[in-house]
Structure 1
Amino acid sequence: MDTEVRDNSIRKEGFLVKRGHVVLNWKVRWFVLKADKLLYYRYEGGKRDSCHRGTIPLTGCGITCPFLEYENRPLVLKLRTGSGEEFFLEACSREERDEWAAEIRAVVQNLSLGGNNTIPTQTRKGSRALQNINISQVVDSMYDVHSGIRMTSHMEQGSTYINCFSGSALVDWLVFMQLALTRVEAVILGSALLDEGSVRAVGVRSVEAVRNAALGEQFLDDSTALYSFAENLKKRGSVKSEKSLSAVELSGRVQKRGYLLKQGHKVKNWKVRLFVLRAEPGFLHYYDPSKDDINPAGGFPLRGCLVSSLDDNGIPSGVKGKVQGNLFKIITKTDKHYFIQAPTRQEKMEWIEAIKHLT
């Protein structure tokens, strides 16, 4: 990951999940953004391939972010090259997705003649559209069977809320449907929906914001702030709450998300997994990014765990294969050992510190 000298022409690099062109499955690839193209590589046995597996030319490329047409993948962005080829890439978080989109847009604009005039013009048009928007039409669009906002179940502090959506999911949807041009405009529109009574807060975070925040700060662009349609809108039913052991385990507030390499316990191979760190209660879960981030592939409580950095010189005891570096180890309270690689040394230290706070 960062054992080689960094190329100064690299604008951004990291793991993304890419949809295949022939076989329409999702696989993790290491992406490197350059001044005119996006390269991607495979990871095999814990190391990145020396030669890249594909190139996405960025001259004349169009970017759709967010791209919400994949039901269980809300963190996708779409690239359409100048030749019309489409690429679908999924990030580990909304922040990371939006950062990739911003960096790619900057590259596309640098390659484009007159690209500097694009964003201000769109911003002015979007502002006028937002002033004249019809709230009832927005609500009707949210209810649309084919393109409306997706209703899901969310867990918060031991309770499962069904038939609801998060604040960030609504912001994503409003931008995707071009009802708002930017996330800031979408938050304003979300606030209007809340103020008009078309949307109501459910769950602890969103209810607390409504009670205590200033009027313009009551709607939260946050994946842990939950909302639903108002009680008088019965098309999709009311929100119910139920408790279960899995709900408690997955109900903690997300502290950190990211792609890391994990060594298997039975077959000692290395695979990229999406790790999610939660607090209150403290748990570390990992997911198979080729599937979804709804059902964990595994996880464990952090109370009583030991986490430590491993020396990159040589192969530490218990580690198999040729690894890239930036290793650390977690020993659970039940004495189960997890060997993990981070993409960079900085990320390794950030994960170690974040985990230590919850052990």
Structure 2
Amino acid sequence: MQGETAISREGFLVKRGHVVHNWKMRWFILSKDQLLYYKIQGGKKEPRPRGIISLEGCTLLCPCMDYANRPLVIKLKAKNSVEHFLEAASREQRDSWAADIQKMIRAANPDCQEQSNTSNVPFEIPANICLNHLIIDMQEASSGIKEMTNGEYGNTYKMCFTGATVIDWLVSRNVVPFRSDGVALASLLIEDDFIKPVGDKSTKAVWNTAGTDLFLDDSTALYCFAKNEGKTDSSNDKIEIPHMELSGKIVKQGFLVKQGHKRKNWKVRRFVLRSEPAHLHYYDPCKENNNQPAGGLSLRGCLVSALEDNGVAPGIKGNVQGNLFKIITTDDVHYYIQAGSRAERSEWIQAIKQLT
């Protein structure tokens, strides 16, 4: 998936369609003054781009809260006012993509003034912020923070949200300029009992702060509004094995291309690697309900190895080659997966080997 010149960055993102607002996986290439996107067919990038987004006169919004069930979206507004919605595989990838695109936007628009970075200034609540009013806005049904059911270490909790979602909301509403300021403000909301920790991770952070922030900017730390404290516990519900698998610590996540078991076609999936217990799950990022796994496997006793980049390896259907690796389960089920680069393949193999 190489070949273009002056490439700053490339990789998979999910893009919302302009006419029909469905979500499609595309391979994006960021260059000096534009962002190109391609369709991947049979594990290979098509020779011509499906579209080009000019960065001249473009503005970027990250985090973008336009889609409550898609918190990893970046919004680009082109010079002609066309809006492009792009979704990453994780918050870290979303933020790094946004930073790289913003850098290119500034380079393409040298007359634009950059905001001075004052993130090292201690955060103080602005005079126009009232915590009572802020928590009311956060609980507003249409534009506030969406409450959901989440899992942690085998338990499920209702009417809660993640720490990262809170910080995204504060930044997107321009309540705070930086995520670090959002953490400081959210910590004040905990101190004044507007927000309560839910589950082990966030509770331990409150009790073991040692002078640090009480709040975690984390996609696995759970919280609830104080009014709903006592309503979140679902521990009496029947917990199925898949919930146990999905409650482990996230070690790595990203977009990879996977060969299907029946039709042997190649599809891009969002892979999430978890430990305790060690499992690898994959999701269809284009589905509306993209938080439910399409499949997964236990990594205990698995074998993982890179495949030759020259020629089509045994077990591979179609003319797909390059950056491939294979996972063999204890039941002798073979998974064939393609990464976006040799370096990415090595990172995934190493991460999986540490859990097998």
Give the TM-score band, short-chain normalised.
over 0.9
**Is the 8 Å Cα contact of residues 163 and 237 (structure 1) preserved in structure 2?**
no
Aligned counterpart in structure 2 of residue 319 of structure 1, from 316, 321, 331: 316
Find out whether 1:105 has 2:102 as its counterpart. yes
Deviation (angstroms), 1:241: 2.7
Q: After superposition, give the CA deviation of every residue in 1:220-263 in whole Å (9 maximum; x if it has no partner).
A: 11111111112xx24x9721133332221110011111000000
Deviations 1:106-142 (A, max 9, x none): 1111222432x33128979x97774642111110011
What's the counterpart of residue 150 of structure 2? Answer: 154
CA contact (8 A) 1:159 1:244 kept: no
Letter in 1 for 2:299: L
Match of 2:282 in 1: 286
Match of 2:233 among 240, 256, 281: 240
Question: Residue 91 of structure 1 corresponds to which residue in structure 2?
Answer: 88
Give the match's secondary structure for 1:208. Answer: helix
- In the alignment, the residues of structure 2 paired with residue 102 and residue 130 of structure 1 have an alpha-carbon distance, to the nearest angstrom, of 26
Aligned counterpart, 1:199? 195
2:220 is aligned with what amino acid? T
| Secondary structure, counterpart of 2:296 in structure 1 | strand
Structure 1 gaps of 5+ residues are none
Q: 1:131 to 1:183 in 2, by over 3 A?
A: farther
What is the TM-score of this pair, normalised by structure 1?
Answer: 0.93
Alpha-carbon offset, residue 219 of structure 1 = 0.9
> Which AA in structure 1 matches 2:231?
S
C-alpha RMSD of the superposition: 2.0
Letter in 1 for 2:10: E
TM alignment of 1:176-215, pairs within 5 A:
176-215=172-211
Counterpart CA distance in 2 for 1:127 and 1:113 is 30
10 and 130 in structure 1: CA distance in 2 versus 1, 3 angstrom threshold: farther
Deviation, 1:100, is 1.1
Matched, 1:136 2:129: no
CA distance in 1: counterparts of 2:123 and 2:114, whole angstroms = 15
What pairs up with 1:325-344 in 2 under 5 angstroms?
A: 325-344=322-341
The 1:83/1:351 distance shift into structure 2, 3 A limit, reads same
Which position in structure 1 is the counterpart of 2:8?
11
Q: Aligned with 1:107: secondary structure?
A: helix
1:55 counterpart = 2:52: yes
| Residues 1:130 and 1:338: Cα distance change in structure 2 (over 3 Å) | farther
Partner Cα separation in structure 2 for residue 131 and residue 185 of structure 1: 15
Aligned with residue 252 of structure 1, among 245, 248, 253: 248
Match of 1:163 in 2: 159
- Write the letter of the residue equivalent to 2:296: G
Secondary structure of 1:163 counterpart:
strand
Given the superposition, is the C-alpha separation of residues 215 and 139 from structure 1 closer, same or farther in structure 2, using an over 3 Å criterion? Answer: farther
Higher helix share: 1
Deviations 1:295-328 (A, max 9, x none): 1000011111111111111111110112241010
Alignment correspondent of 2:355: 358
| Equivalent residues of 1:151, 1:163 under 8 A apart | yes
Work out the CA distance in 2 between the residues paired with 1:84 and 1:318.
Answer: 47
Q: 2:60 & 2:118 partners in 1: Cα distance?
A: 14
Contact 2:311 2:321 survives alignment (8 Å): no
Seq. identity, %: 50
Question: Which secondary structure state, in structure 2, belongs to the residue aligned with residue 118 of structure 1?
Answer: coil
The one-letter code matched in structure 1 to 2:80 is S
Alignment: residue pair count? 352
Query: 1:347 — aligned with what?
Result: 344
What is the match of residue 42 of structure 1? 39
- Map Cα deviations across residues 94-114 of structure 1 (whole Å, 9 max, x no partner): 111111111111111122243
Secondary structure of the residue that 1:308 maps to in structure 2?
strand
TM norm structure 2: 0.94
- Report 1 or 2 for greater relative contact order, CA contacts < 8 Å, sequence distance ≥ 6: 1
3-state SS of paired residue (1:120): coil
